[in-house]
Amino acid sequence: MMPPAAPVRVYRNVAEAVVATLAEIFDNQRVADRAVDYAFRTHPKWGSRDRSFFAEAVYEIVRWRRRLAWAAGRDDNWALLGAYLCRRGIGLPPWEEFAALEPDRVVSRLEDEGAPLAVRESVSDWLAAPPLPPEWVARWPAELAAQNGPAPVTLRVNTLKATVAEAAARLLAEGIGTDPVPGVPTALRLRERRPLARTVAYQSGLVEVQDAGSQLIAPALRVEPGMRIIDGCAGAGGKTLHLAALLKNQGQIHALDVGEERLAELRRRAARAGAKQIRTGLADEASRQQLAGWADRLLLDAPCTGTGTLRRQPDLKWRLTPEFAAEVAAVQRMILREYPAMLKPGGLLVYATCSLLPAEGEEMVRERLAAGDLELLEEHRVWTSETGFDGFYFALLRKE
């Protein structure tokens, strides 16, 4: 958890906004980023200190909800805020909501490393001990801890418009320092968090925000200029744009998704990136039939639990359940069963998920291989605890 802070004055209206925002996230299943943005819009007179305190408090309480509740002895949002203030070394205001909290006891329990794993790493019992291969059990605590750590801001350089060195120089000219990421040739990591949206480098399409682990997926597909490629689960197009850069604008890409809103965002991003060979369409049966046997390469970045990205979206872990995992597994099976029909015989496909769970990775692929029409060429597991990247699984398969 975060170290104690310098003395901070907590204002009642900001504290009430924290509690109300936590209720939106925990009770109404609102995404934390959107809930925080809404609070900022509804409190335009807050100064920078109030905004900073509010955002930090919300995100840290969401991330450490279970540990804070365990230390406070109860799970209501005022108690969570009080436990957070104790951990930060901020004195509790003399408010009725904090009257039952004993700061010394709260801090002692927060620092108790003998607490159960689910408490220490602030996850559900299910996520603390999901079905795992025996050889994974010993490493699981470290992976959960890594998902509670800081997430760096990583950029992918758009090689349609610039080299990595040119993009780094352009960013530095705008006051943004970066470092290369070993093992990921198109990646630049920001030395410190800075807003990017208004920079010339971003607006002109030289860089996109994309985690280093995510940047490993498109190259695994072994694309070559001139190929026909389908991105079957394109979303807003981060990996689609990477594929376009690898094609050097020579070839064709069909980007499919079930959501037209995401495809519209992909088209906007493609225009900014100068990716001219991308066509978009809905990922429905009609599209799959029309594209049957068309592609040299197929990317299936399937919907998943997102357990490899919890450090970026800690509110997600409070929405994850075994039932939800089963629902997305059914979608993954359908995608692996139906989508390879769009691939030519001998073509290659990559199946990927940003999940830590073997049921969505290794086990899902083994189940699909039983059909006998796909051959596994290689597979990879990206561990956040080892790489500092988001957690991923991806496999390269050949269609018989």
Q: Rounded to an integer, what distance in angstroms lies between the CA atom of residue 43 and that of residue 34?
A: 14
Interatomic CA distance for residues 106 and 102, integer angstroms: 6
CB environment 369-398: b (16+ within 10 A), e (fewer): eeeeebeeeebbbbbbbebbbbbbbbbbbe
Distance of CA 379 to the CA centre of its chain: 20
Catalytic entry in 86, 233, 304, 354: 354
Sheet containing strand 228-231, edge to edge, reads: 278-282, 252-257, 228-231, 295-301, 343-353, 392-399, 374-382
- Residue 40 — φ and ψ, nearest 5°? -60, -40
- 354 catalytic? Reply is yes
What distance in Å separates the CA atoms of residue 231 and residue 251, rounded to the nearest whole number? 13
Any idea what the Cα angle at residue 167 is, between residues 162 and 169, rounded to 5°?
A: 130
Beta bridge partners, 392, equal 382
The residues annotated with a catalytic role in the active site are 354
